[in-house]
Amino acid sequence: MQLFNRTPTTAQLQWMVWVFVFFIVLFSLLPMDGLGQSAVFAFVNTLFYAAIIYGNILWLFPQLFQKGRIAAYVIAVIGLLLTTGILRAYISMYIYNRFFVMGHPTLMKPQAIISFVVAGVLIFMLSFIFRIALAYFTLKQQTEEILVQKTQAELNLLKSQVQPHFLFNTLNNIYYEAYLEAPRTAGLIERLSDIMRYFVDESPRQVVSLATEIQFLENYIALEKIRIRYDIDITFTKDCETSLSIPPMLLMTFVENIFKHGIDKTSTYNKIDISLVQKNGRLIFTTENTVPDKPLNTSSTGFGIANLRKRLVLLYQNDFDMQVNNKGDLYIASLNIPLA
């Protein structure tokens, strides 16, 4: 069914037009000539018509006229019409004398060349209609392709929404099962589900509430803590209106860096202080953490901070302040941004 419902391409439409022109010329010649002679000259005439039309719309018009070279365009058009008219006359006469006249060759007459040139002028004028029709069908085809792509994108979006929600529902089922046997494990599953929901539903947004961002950070910290052998001395001070909004994932980089580069998993002492303070219409986010005695592998250190700085420039231009300081045994990072 798709084969019959498919819209013809621009190239297919052009072939259909030229086949139609061939048969129109063929049937116009049949009353005077036989089928074979009519078919040959219909083919020759159709080739010259195509040469005039495509010569104008594909080369002369875009290369000369549209670039303001009007005089050159007029001269080139005259040259095209004279060349095709003369060639068509001589080729037609040669074919006629060579294959369709038995010992009585016909001489070329100036009237024949003139008639072919005049016919070429008419075809040249029709080339503009052909060009408009070609542009219309090309635009129509592009519009249909865009609609198909839009529909496919909508289907892909629906699929991408179905898959995460299936995963969320599965995690919820596992949560209820775990809650009966291991409440602590159930709590961690719930936090993981909340983090995944944040990535799917919240992170694509322009802004999220501070409450949502804080919950995301707390879930991330809780899951990171289970990977560390000893307890962490961690405090999270929140002195701000949680109903206010900020761009998502702005605060995550500092916290992620702490657990990537600032935690010694073999040490019994790791201290982290995080504060989120609202002051004079601005939000000040600060993290402090102890530095491991033995330096960790920090080959990727700095990329997250650099990317964050680029994003801040895009969001706030120069209206922000970000500081990162390593004081030997203490690593301090701070961010100061305006609140909308």
Q: What is the pLDDT of residue 98?
A: 83
Count how many residues are written for the chain. Answer: 340
Residues pairing with 278 in the sheet = 283
What is the mean predicted confidence (pLDDT) over 95-111?
A: 74
Pick from 293, 290, 272, 300: nearest CA to 326: 290
Tell me how far apart the alpha carbons of residues 173 and 167 are, in angstroms, rounded to a whole number.
Answer: 10
Has residue 115 got a pLDDT over 80? Answer: yes
φ and ψ at residue 203, rounded to 5 degrees = -60, -30
- Beta strand extents in 171-253 (DSSP E only): 208-209, 233-239, 245-246
Tell me how far apart the alpha carbons of residues 27 and 301 are, in angstroms, rounded to a whole number.
Answer: 80
Tell me how far apart the alpha carbons of residues 308 and 320 are, in angstroms, rounded to a whole number.
Answer: 12
φ and ψ at residue 247, rounded to 5 degrees = -60, 145
Identify the H or E element spanning 271. strand 271-279
φ and ψ at residue 281, rounded to 5 degrees = 75, 15
Q: What domains are defined for the chain?
A: 2-150 (no CATH), 220-338 (3.30.565.10)
Has residue 131 got a pLDDT over 50? Answer: yes
Residues 254-278 pLDDT 10s: 998 888 888 877 788 889 999 999 9
Has residue 297 got a pLDDT over 70? Answer: no
Tell me how far apart the alpha carbons of residues 80 and 77 are, in angstroms, rounded to a whole number.
Answer: 5
Tell me how far apart the alpha carbons of residues 273 and 80 are, in angstroms, rounded to a whole number.
Answer: 82
Residue 181's identity, in one-letter code, is E
Has residue 299 got a pLDDT over 60? Answer: no
Q: What is the pLDDT of residue 148?
A: 78
What is the mean predicted confidence (pLDDT) over 203-230?
A: 88
Q: What is the pLDDT of residue 50?
A: 93
